[in-house]
Chains A and B, each alone.
Chain A
Amino acid sequence: MSILNFTVNGNPVSVEIEPNEYLAYVLRYKLGLTGTKIACDEAECGACTVLVNGTSVDSCIYPALKAQGAEVMTIEGLARPDGLHPLQAQFIQQGAVQCGFCTPGVLMQSKNLLDQNPDPDDHDIKVALKDTFCRCGCYVSMMNAIKNAAQELREPETEHLFNIPNLPQVKAPLNVIGKPITRPDAVAKVTGAARYTDDYNFPDMLHGATLRAKFPHARILSIDTSKAKALDGVRAVLTHKDVPGSKHHGLIYNDWPVLCYDKVRYMGDAVAIVAADTREIAQRALELIEVEYEELPVVDNPVDALKPETIIVNDGTGHGNLLKHIHVEKGDIEKGFAKAEVIIENEYRSPFYEHAFMEPECAIGQALDNGRIEVIVGSQIPYEDRRQIAAALDLPESKVRVRGALIGGGFGGKEDIAAQIHVALLARAIGRPVKMLYSRHESLVFHPKRHATVIRLRTGAKKDGTLVASHATIYGDSGAYASLGDKVMTRAATHAAGPYHVPNVLIDCYAMYTNNPPAGAFRGFGVTQSAFAVESNMDELAHKLGLDPFELRRKNGLAVGDTTSTGQLVRESAGLLECIRLVEQVVKAQPEIENQTSKIRAWGLACAFKNTGLGGGSPDKSAAEVEVFEDGTAEVRTSAAEIGQGLPTILAMITAEELGLPYERVRVLLSDTDLTPDGGPTTASRQTFVSGNAARYAAKGMREILAETASEQLDAAPDTLTFKDGYIRQNGHKMPFEEVVKRAREENRPTRYLHEYHAPATTPLGSEGDMHFGFSYAAQAALIELDSDTGEVHVLKVVTATDIGRALNPLALQGQVEGGIMMCLGNALTEEYIIEKGKVWTDLLAKYKMPSIKHTPEIVSFLVEDEISTGPYGAKGVGEISSIPTTPAITNAIYNACGVRIRRLPVDQDALLLAMRSGKSETK
């Protein structure tokens, strides 16, 4: 033990530490300053940035003893006695906070920048924040926020009125709906007070660890835990034998072992779990567990997986390695191609991608009174967690409580079970709270990815560009377990003809089991992959026919009256043509590009559509409850996850709108299965629509009750009353909201109202009818600069137009659009999750590069509000659509710059340059 004496946020601190502890750990776990986050633990991401003697450092690898005698400043010390620091206030105002996990580190690094440079420009900011990552991608907003804060600090005497420069125009707002409103959780997120799962600690809490597979595919012959159990400080070691209930979990198919027993099928498989007094002891115990394996051949790609002679990895659905064959058929493909005057046929490949949410998975389990179990976790689907935990522990669901903590990003990667069941098992076995926190390495190896795909696409058209036929064969690598693989690949297939009216369509898609990490939900849900193929083919078609790429898309774009490739009639809310028009207008107004140096600039275009909601016949529902209080406030409750997208803001806005309350008077309670009704999964861009509608109808129901009360007081029919600004009014008379609530109580009327909303019914693929109740549309153009000396590609500008039905909160929408573009800029240019024969190469953040602020282009964004009648105020989903066209817009721009088609993602500058030099027309 050593004593560390230093100053933290101005206070002298003396603390006993181990000499090998790192500063971030001392701050978080010894001093309780949990505002400093640990996201990678390898000096890659900047989440743990603190200032030591005024200099920013990554505290996760900063030996604590090095800070002896130093002055340390953390996020908790940034606010001033009289309020927020201008950086904090500006981050909130500009919408630069989404999930908030990166925020403390970003703010500290920004503070360090402003300390040294009181007037930074965009370039200075990009240099300073280069390695301080935000996966939600709020970089544009951050740059605005930093510049504004700098101005405030330089001119403290002046009153500043800052606008939000990147906010798109929207329809006239209602009372609350349609206004750019900041997040209710933003203050907590900029001050470090926000609590994510690892920020919870309990007396007596133990630490868990998981033994992962040693091989990607092997039979388990024996497991011996005796040595691990004998280690001092170890409280329990559990294997499959200790799982009392269901041995498997799974969202759709129950095919994923809680703890492996017969085989391991990928490197992330869990074989045994340990709980011990410290994380280190738990880790050491893992090394003492002896597992005997018999290695099996590794199936490492979906094409091999389908061959009859290939060994079966998983027979989860009874078809061997074939998780699902998806078949889409419309018209007559033969006849269609017979009519075609030009045919484009290509094969496209995309690798696995990693969500890289900034917050690694964490869960805490604890036994409650009367035999109940509680799990605290940042999950995208709390009620599904509850079901699966209960099944594995052989408990009725009533005995399990899942409490949602804040979530540091999800993007689809926190839908499946991670440590939820394991901590529940351990807590139950020992009777003490158990926390399991995954390292970044473990997170990278374990959780489901975006499907790697091989897509063969044949597109047929008339000479005038009219599409006549589209034929696709898609192989999706779904990895070792089903996860949401069949749904994802269904979406890839049904969107594989693009947002176009194509009379003859044939698509066969094979979702395959392999020994790679499971592939599941990831923002874009399969459409990201097929859009790359479709939009590349479309672009090639335009070139071949000598047509303007805008014109070709306009000619074929889905509009009301057209049918999708599953035969669904588009009846309303199809704003694609308007999106194309807006983007075209901007691009065509740009000055002609003259390329005179080795840096070649060019534009590329792409369009996309994406369903809102589960669809395909799955019942899609959400419940919300609204309660009103005598102090004139209201609370809206649902178990729907906030993963950074801004759901609580939307729910509070809707409730405020319907009850005529100021927004600040509505609280939101999310994701506690004991206290909040089921909001269903946070996936498929569905929450604004489904839970938004649930909240809206719950608030409406509540209003009706209050209206009845008030109508007696105001002597007017209930439906003639208006609810506004905290008053209920009629003809010049008004009653304060709180008064009415009080009255309602006295009259014994209910003051809470629960509504279970059922989205319009959909039908399964292959049957007549609507497979989805709505689609969002987008068009995007990217301006890139290609360095013809190196093959390097930079995106300079993205012009985007997104049809989201109705803009409920333009500020949150802007965040979703910018974040989506950044994410798929990574998809195109920087990211690739590499697996070699089942072994993960990209097992550290140092090897998986998400886009940083330095990649951020200028973004010009339009919102198209083609309302959908069933959505709340006409709104549909936005979470995914904004990201889907970005990749092909970039790759099409590359073609326009140099004549080389990108057939394989990500863009490899090495292959691109060699292709350019050798005159090849594509990179395979």
Chain B
Amino acid sequence: MKVFDNYHLPTTVVQALELLAQYEGRARVVAGGTDLLVDTQAEYYEGRRPHFDALIDVTGIAGAGEIRARDEYIEIGCGVTHTQIVASPLIQKHAAALAEACSVVGGPQVRNVATLCGNVAHALPAADGTVALMILDAEAAVARQSRSGTDSPDWVPLAALFQGPGKSAVDSTRELITALRFRALGAREASAFSRVMRPQGVALPILGMATRVRLSALDIHARIEDVAISAGPVAPVPYRASAVEEFLRGKTADQPVLQEAAELLVANAHPRTSAHRATKEYRFELLPMLLQQTLRAALERAAQSA
């Protein structure tokens, strides 16, 4: 089964966009290609016949394979693989949740080629990387060709790219995500990620969660100055538990507070039953557990990050 005819490896963003334009919507961007190629295969067996005239591989674009610190941001190029992220000291130090999330995606052979940008473009709300990026308030640089030529890419908040499960605002037949960025976490700040999988059936998480905190002092009992919580899948698009964040801000994380936060999360989140994957009831049981687990980990780390 062949889902594409041609394969191009442009070396600049401009070239990539030109190629997309030449194919007039019949070609699409690919990076590691794992999700795309596996998905199209599944579609094939469901009786559909996905086909592209060409795949435009953006991993060869100059600089695309780099993780860089720029100003207060960390930038991840569209050729950066999950393996690179897991191994990056920069990410381990300033965005631990992302390293943790990327380390559990697929197996090593898949992580060696699958890219984080590709994963974001795929728009699964519960993708591990996405859950982690959400608490980092990540942004994506989307490049597209306009009448006046190629604009310099806009930085778009990650959340704005998701329009539904598997539905991205980025049209991969005309546009491409060239990079992701987020603010590097600093002193008294830290993040953590955890998830629960099902041993049978599809390799999609039953529930993943990421949290980020900033403490007022280097002490686990200090006040929580800022906090972010994201979970998936609890909604068709990536989810931030803003009510819980609101509640936690300014408090100290003692057991009753954590307990109340968990209850609030359960009251606000709306996980659903997905066939052959998890019941809604089970997901409700996991929500408080994962919240406490990831918050504790993030708090402990923050208390030690001078």
Interface, chain A (partner B; CB < 8 A): 2, 19-20, 41-43, 46, 49, 55-58, 61-63, 65-66, 68, 109, 112, 127-128, 130-132, 280, 283, 441, 789-792, 829-832, 834, 841-844, 846-847, 849, 906, 908-910, 913-914, 917
Contact = CB atoms under 8 A, between A and B. Distances in A.
A20 B112 CA distance: 21
- 4 residue pairs, one from A and one from B, having the closest CB atoms: A131-B107, A910-B282, A830-B199, A65-B7
Contacts, number: 119
Nearest to A918: B281
Given A63-B7, A65-B7, A913-B282, A43 B110 contact: yes
Nearest to A113: B108
29 contacts: A20-B2, A20-B3, A20-B5, A20-B7, A41-B41, A43-B37, A49-B109, A55-B83, A56-B109, A58-B34, A61-B33, A62-B113, A63-B33, A63-B55, A65-B9, A66-B9, A112-B108, A128-B108, A131-B110, A790-B289, A791-B282, A829-B199, A844-B45, A847-B201, A847-B202, A908-B200, A910-B198, A910-B282, A914-B281
A790 B199 contact: no
Contact of A43 (B1, B5, B38, B202): B38
Contact of B278 (A61, A842, A910): A910
A251 B251 CA distance: 72
A828 to B, nearest CB: 10
Contacts of B276: 834, 841, 847
Contacts of A65: 7, 9
B71 interface: no
Interface string B87-103: 00000000000000000
Contacts of A132: 107, 109
A834 B277 CA distance: 12
Q: How large is the interface on B (under 10, 10 to 19, 20 to 34, 35 or more residues)?
A: 35 or more
A131 B199 contact: no
Interface in B183-227: 196, 198-203, 206
B176 to A, nearest CB: 17
Interface in B92-139: 106-110, 112-113
B42 interface: yes
B1 A283 contact: yes
Contacts of B73: none
Contacts of B201: 832, 834, 842, 847, 849
A844 B42 contact: yes
A794 to B, nearest CB: 10
B4 A830 contact: no
Nearest to A842: B201
A19 B5 contact: yes
Interface string B275-299: 0101101100110010000000000
Contacts of A66: 7, 9, 57, 59
Contacts of A832: 200-201
Contact of B196 (A57, A68, A109, A792): A792
A848 to B, nearest CB: 8
Contacts of A20: 2-7
A55 B59 CA distance: 15
A109 B198 contact: no
A58 B286 contact: no
Nearest to B108: A128
Nearest to B286: A790
Contact of B57 (A42, A63, A844, A917): A63
Given A63-B55, A831-B200, 17 more contacts: A20-B3, A43-B34, A46-B109, A58-B34, A61-B37, A61-B38, A109-B108, A280-B1, A790-B286, A790-B289, A830-B200, A841-B276, A844-B42, A844-B45, A847-B201, A909-B198, A914-B279
A55 B82 CA distance: 13
Contacts of B37: 43, 61
B44 to A, nearest CB: 9
A791 B198 CA distance: 10
Given A847-B202, A849-B201, A913 B285 contact: yes
Given A65-B9, A914-B279, A58 B200 contact: no
Nearest to B83: A55
A163 B107 CA distance: 31
A847 B202 CA distance: 5
A680 B118 CA distance: 52
A309 to B, nearest CB: 29
Contacts of A41: 41
Contacts of B203: 846, 849
A841 B109 CA distance: 26
Given A42-B41, A43-B34, A63-B7, A906 B109 contact: no
Contacts of B9: 65-66, 68
Contact of A789 (B113, B198, B279, B289): B289
Nearest to A793: B199
B240 to A, nearest CB: 23
A283 B1 CA distance: 8
Contacts of B34: 43, 58, 61
Given A61-B34, A441-B45, A846-B203, A280 B110 contact: no
Nearest to B110: A43
A280 B2 contact: yes
A728 B191 CA distance: 76
A55 B201 CA distance: 28
Contacts of A842: 201
A566 to B, nearest CB: 35
Contacts of B41: 41-42, 844
Contact of B282 (A130, A846, A914): A914
Of B199, B276, B282, the most chain A CB neighbours within 10 A belong to B199
A840 to B, nearest CB: 10
B282 to A, nearest CB: 4
Nearest to A108: B109
